[in-house]
Structure 1
Amino acid sequence: AEEAGLRVDEEGFRRAMAAQRERARSAQRFGTTGAEEAYRLLDLPSTRFLGYETYEAESRVVALLRDGEPLESASAGDEVEVVLEATPFYGEAGGQVGDTGEITGDGLRIAVTDAYHPVVDIIAHRGRVAEGVVRRGDAVRAAVDVERRLDIARNHTATHLLHRALRQVLGEHAAQSGSLVAPERLRFDFGHLAALSPEELRQVEEIVNAEIRANAPVTVRETTYEEALQQGVVALFGERYGDRVRVVSVEGISAELCGGTHLHATGQIGLFLITAEASIGSGLRRIEAVTGRGALSLVHRRFDDLDQIGEHLGARPGEEVERAAAAADTLREQRRTIEDLQGQLAASSVDTLLSAATTVNGVQVLASQVQAPNVDALRDMGDRLRDRLGSGVVALGAVIEEKPLLVVTISQDLVTRGLHAGKLAGDAARKMGGGGGGRPHMAQAGGKDAARLGQALASVAPLVSERLS
């Protein structure tokens, strides 16, 4: 490309790929094969969306479907998709999940669990007929779950604030490449090469919360796509827009093309807390966050955790970190003391272990199970025993952190005669479902079955005899 005098927009390419992955997931989520074809064949009029102005509306049923098949009616217990002439239900789009709620009528109640776009300009309501019978042509009332919708709106408006804050802190390259706006959380994907530092995350979080406290008005207007771009409105890379677009503006902060539902002022968000930040691919990062009731719930859980920690440590409020650090220091010191004592105990048992050595083809072989705090202590014990033997083979086994381990050490004169610690250790470890190896004079191996450690140790003497014969 450079040779041809062209410039490759790598950042734009990454954002486009992320947007495509999001579209692919949406297609999979809604099954755009049979269902889409069924709706196309019905040739329904466009659904009038009323959700920007109201949470409830009178309407009429224009279509019923079950498993992609049109119905004239459905009764209690049936899972159905309902299409209305007009609806306040937002159909999943642009990363924002669909609304839930109820469709009611004369003796009828349908619990709506999702709303989506099976084809362009049609909103379908997924749900279950809880009471009565619904027929095509029935007059009904559609009502959105208002609290859930407001939770979604908090997260969506917060997403716009987060987008602006990221570009302030990281640079204009940190543009949105995907998102999820749900009632309980928000997820925001953006272009950036490195993980955000704790300081950067804190700065982003503080900027967003300052804008929430400012209670900035959120306004919506329609304009042409060309005019919006001329005014510097943010458009998402890879998204398709019509001639007329919807601009969501947070006064003095941001202006983006967006078809989602929002609050009237940023103060309604309440609180914004980042819960996670991670890589999702080359040059792409993801932030997860909570707002409003979700943020308050998180704060309560963290305080509950802190209270429990304080109780366990006997700490007063505000002393938990200091007490926890002191407890960790004490624990580390106690572990070191225990390991030292175990090492001393192991060293003192050398004489007892030496008495258990046997002679195989004129070679002293010591194979025994011992107590050891770690692999280093086990190797040190093996070296001590080998040095005390003068000439011989030492195989020690221990269960460390619930795993069987084997250490084999061989004196230099026996290495010269052809014995190899790595081969002995590997062959013996197979008795306990493991393996290993190492140098001719020192090796270690592990296994899967601690109950068979004794069998592995018992095989050492026959293996030595076999190799010396």
Structure 2
Amino acid sequence: MQTHEIINRFTEHFRAAGHTVVPSASLILDDPNLLFVNAGMVQFKPYFLGDAPAPYPRATSIQKCLRTGDIDEVGKTTRHLTFFQMAGNFSFGDYFKEGAIRHAWSLVTGPQDQGGYGFEPERIWATVYETDDDAARLWHEVAGLPWERIQRRGVEDNSWDMGVPGPSGPCSEIFYDRGPEYGAEGGPIVDENRYTEIWNLVFMENQRGESTGPNKGDYPVLGPLPQQNIDTGMGVERIACLLQGVENVYETDLLRSVIDKAEEVSGRRYGDDHDDDVRFRVIADHARSGVMLVGDGVTPGNEGRGYVLRRLLRRIVRSARLLGVHEPVLGEFAKVVRDAMSPSYPELVTEFDRIDSVLRNEEEAFLATLSTGSKIFDTAAAETRKAGGTQLPGSKAFQLHDTYGFPIDLTLEMAAEQGLSVDEQGFRELMSEQRRRAKEDAKARKTAHGDLSTYRSLLDSHGTTEFIGYTDLQSTSRVLGLLVDGAPVPVAGQGSEVELVLDRTPFYAEGGGQIADTGKLVGEGVELQVTDVQRAVPGLFVHTATVLGGEVGLDTELEAAVDVDRRSAIARSHSATHLVHAAVRSAYGKRAAQAGSLNSPGRMRFDFTAPSGVSSSVLGGVEEEVNEYLQNDVEVQAYNTSMDRAMELGAIALFGEKYGDQVRVVDMGDYSRELCGGTHVGSIAQLGVVKLVSSSSVGSGVQRVEALVGMDAMRRISKEHMLVNQLAEQFKAPAEELPERVESMVTRLRNAEKELQQLRVSQVLQSAGELAGRAADVSGVSLVAEQVPDGVDGNSLRALASEIRGRFGSRPSVVAVFSSDPETSKVSFVVAVSRDAQDRGFAAGKLVPAFASHVGGRGGGKADMAQGGGSDPSGITAAIGALRKEVEQVVSRG
């Protein structure tokens, strides 16, 4: 049974059982505790936590998941995966243990010709929490499992929580007996290789508190949850392994196809060599993970999600290289992943050009890194041999890995080729220390879900806030909640900073790149200034305000009024963002996916994925296309429709956003159609003009453009026009001739600077004879150590030192000249040593450390010439004295 059929059967089974089919959330949901979605229940957490009412009593999904804790173990075993799919069914206060067990059993053991998976009932085992008599009884009564195939386990195995205060409860796991050839008899408590876990049912019934110790169960149970919930998960890849009759997940249809391609490009065969098998598995897993991550909007980078993606992709390239493949491979593997996964994820086809572009650019950059790393390795290897060693230090291997992204396996391979070993123990210790620091940092950042109980209570008692701000900018509203410093209060007086929850509001809460509205709340004898609006929990608008006068209390009736001018300016910016997005996609194609935005009064910022910087010609083309379209005065329409209908209409959805069945579409003719919850103008002509003012790179493969809109754009254009007129007047030339005139002037200035520099050098060199004449004799060595006039640069100092040294002919000489720059308070110095002085033990590079600290600097060079700089001109005299002493000591040692 192919994997997509396994997925379809799961979905249809629970659809028939009254579950709402919910699409997989993006891998990059906005969750402060998660880098990536790592479990099927993540997108349903607000319902389990009580932050929002569930829109359906029961649901089912096939969730994309990614876990990064065992990246280094992937490939070494056949169990570890980074990307996997979790099939789940969920109940929000609806059915509980009996329903969960009944639904799972009927699908697992149902005949294949009736839509089930067809597992033999006599090979199924179940585990329950050690005190969960109900679950044990239900497995016996509902599923008919004999008591000896129902085993009890402790808190480490059969209890569940999110690792932070919140829901928790016992769980029950379903295991399949693969047979005596896989291990000992006795059920999962004896051998989990033979007895393979295929399903986990979580019975969410308790509220847990803060951890009190290092172990999983070290926390107090605060009491029962308001309602009992079900969260179950079935590993799709693990089920596929069993139903396809293969030994492990890497031989299932979706992963084996990538291994087949790796065999094709490398000429090697999976199963012939253990080390090669590890590399094949790394390629298969990471290629799928990489494609799915890029598909969900992640781009390679040096931090966070981008770093994980970069690491995965580089491990693929590294593994291919160790298989003997030195040509680019990511694009070929991506095509295989696309073809294998697209039946369940059709967006991989529509977004493939963008995905392919990101992968190819990252591979090209990494191949350049490998080239650089190889040179650094060669230097390190040469230093090791020169010192008489045969082992590359662990610190050098770690530097190659950490600083240059150079994989340790390649370091080991290249060292072996040169007859060297690597201090792997030292490398592992440094890696472990780095991981320890990373874990401590992550633990410090990871927090429990904030105390939102007050907001949840308001949501439970009063329902969601009615937002009327799409059509009205004023309303009569009533205060339902009043907080100061996060605590509920009955009343607040003048000068208080408060949070208010209103029954209805015209104020837009920050979201979707659009900043929040501001404005006034006015009631009888009271006035407040609204400075921010946020959604503390889904559906509840919380207004941050200052009480300007009087007192505000619960049930106070207020007239809410949005700052109209500010809202209009923000709406213009948001509408301009949609148009710029459309123009950017026109220039770059679908690969230019939105990666972020900010809409503030009169100014917009738009980030998008693109392989390289935005050229001035493209920037100009985008600006021209947007402003040309503004002339059409197209009406902006916003309407709600189903997600499926929106996709049929070609609406663009943003990566990482979670959408429900009903979505809001914003149309600006056929030119722009996006899913958007923000506020917009009524007609695009209201934008006036859009002026792109800058472009920059904000990460690997992510570009940013910024623009001014409306009057802000007009003011910028007017200012630039005035500046052009002033320049034209200064140059006595028409505006269109200014570029040539400016270029001509710049050329003349550069030529003049070169002539001036040559004159300075000539003047400095003229002093060479005088300085040589002041040389001190130190036991037969002529020493010149002088401070020359300010402002002499390093090149001129080198020429001067060389000229002075030449004046001594064959006499041993040491020359040091210093100059300071009064504008920067920097010091430059050069030391020159003649051949005869070198024969007496002098080396310019070794003299520098003797005096450089006096000028707060450093430097270096070869035996004949060295130079450097410092930050303390007041120490030049002391530096000259220190140099004299060092010269005397070298002479005495000689």
TM-score, normalised to structure 2, is 0.49
Provide closer, same or farther for how the CA distance between residues 159 and 439 of structure 1 changes in structure 2, counting only shifts above 3 A.
same
Pairing 1:365-376 to 2, within 5 Å after superposition: 365-371=783-789, 373-376=792-795
Q: Partner residue of 1:389?
A: 808
- Residue ranges of structure 2 left out of the alignment (5+ in a row): 1-249, 259-287, 306-444
Bigger mean CA deviation after superposition, 178-187 or 247-256: 178-187
Q: Secondary structure at the match of 1:9?
A: helix
Amino acid at match of 1:376: N
- What does residue 748 of structure 2 align with? 330
2:555 to 137, 144, 154: 137
CA contact (8 A) 1:15 1:176 kept: no
Structure-2 separation of matches of 1:184 and 1:98: 14
Aligned equivalent of 2:848:
425
For residue 885 of structure 2, the aligned residue among 446, 462, 467 is 462
What residue number does 2:294 align with? 11
Match of 1:154, as an amino acid? R
1:33 paired residue number? 450
Q: 1:377 aligns with which of 789, 796, 803?
A: 796
Deviations 1:131-156, CA, capped at 9 Å, x for gaps: 22212112211110011111111011
Q: CA deviation at 1:449?
A: 0.4
The equivalent of 1:440 in structure 2 is 863
Relative distance call for 1:224 and 1:14 in structure 2 (3 A) is closer
What is residue 53 of structure 1 aligned with on the other side? 471
Q: Larger % of helix: which?
A: 2
Tell me the SS of whatever aligns to 1:452: helix
1:84-118 deviations in whole A, cap 9, x for unaligned? Answer: 11111111121211110111111221111111111
- The answer for the alignment partner of 1:398 in structure 2 is 819
Distance 1:464 1:457, change over 3 A: same
- The yes-or-no answer on 1:245 pairing with 2:245 is no
Map of 1:63-212 to 2, 5 A cutoff?
63-212=481-630
Deviation at 1:301, TM superposition (A): 3.9
Tell me by how many angstroms 1:64 deviates.
1.1
> AA paired with 1:4?
R
Distance in 2 of aligned mates of 1:16 and 1:336: 45
Amino acid at match of 2:855: M
Q: Which has the higher contact order (CA 8 A, sep 6+)?
A: 1
Give the SS at the match of 1:110: strand
Aligned equivalents of 2:720, 2:294: Cα separation in 1: 37
- Aligned residue among 341, 353, 369 for 2:759: 341
One-letter code of the match for 2:520? Answer: E
Report if aligned partners of 1:151, 1:293 keep a CA contact under 8 Å in 2: no
Aligned to 1:268: 686
Distance 1:286 1:5, change over 3 A: farther
Number of paired residues?
458
Structure whose residues are more often strand by fraction: 1
1:219 Cα deviation after fit: 0.8
CA distance in structure 2 between the partners assigned to 1:317 and 1:39 by the alignment: 64
How large is the Cα RMSD of the aligned pairs?
A: 2.5
638, 646, 651: which one pairs with 1:220?
638
2:480 paired residue number = 62
1:388 is displaced (CA, Å) by: 0.7
Cα distance in 1 for residues equivalent to 2:671 and 2:578: 9
Displacement of 1:357 after TM fit?
0.7
Partner of 1:25: none
1:327: Cα distance to partner?
3.7
Q: What is the CA–CA distance in structure 1 between the aligned matches of 2:527 and 2:734, rounded to whole Å?
A: 50
Distance in structure 1 (CA, Å) of the matches to 2:482 and 2:661: 32
Distance 1:454 1:309 in 2: 48
Compared CA separation, residues 117 and 442, structure 1 to 2 (3 A): same
Letter in 1 for 2:456: R
Choose from 295, 299, 306 the match for 2:717.
Answer: 299
State the 1:287 CA deviation: 2.0
Cα pair 2:825 2:872 within 8 Å, conserved:
no
CA distance 1:438–1:346, change in 2 (3 Å): same
- Three-state SS of the structure 1 residue aligned to 2:682 is coil
CA shift for structure 1 position 338: 2.0
CA shift, 1:283, in A, is 2.4
The aligned counterpart of 1:229 is 647
CA apart distance, 1:317: 6.6
CA distance in structure 2 between the aligned counterparts of 1:347 and 1:282, rounded to whole angstroms? 49
**Quick one: distance in 1 between partners of 2:542 and 2:485?**
13
Mark the runs of 5 or more structure 1 residues left unpaired by the alignment. 22-27
- TM-fit CA distance, 1:272: 1.0
Residues 184-193 or 65-74, more deviating = 184-193
Which one-letter code corresponds to 1:282 in the other structure?
Answer: S
Residues 220-271 of structure 1 show CA distances to partners (whole Å, capped at 9, x for unaligned) of 1211112212222212222111222111101121211111111111111111
- What residue in structure 2 maps to residue 24 of structure 1? none
For 1:96, what is the secondary structure of its paired residue?
A: coil
Whole-angstrom CA distance in 2 between matches of 1:40 and 1:96: 25
CA distance in 2 between counterparts of 1:50 and 1:147 reads 18
- Distance of aligned partners of 1:250 and 1:320 in 2 relative to their CA distance in 1, 3 Å threshold: same
Change (3 A) 1:218 1:15: farther
Deviations, residues 7-64 of structure 1 (Å, cap 9, x unaligned) = 523532334999x98xxxxxx9xx9723x33211233321111111111111222111
**Amino acid across the alignment from 2:844:** A
- Separation in structure 2 between the aligned mates of residue 348 and residue 16 of structure 1, nearest angstrom: 59
Following the alignment from structure 1 to structure 2, what is the Cα–Cα distance between the partners of residues 307 and 79? 49
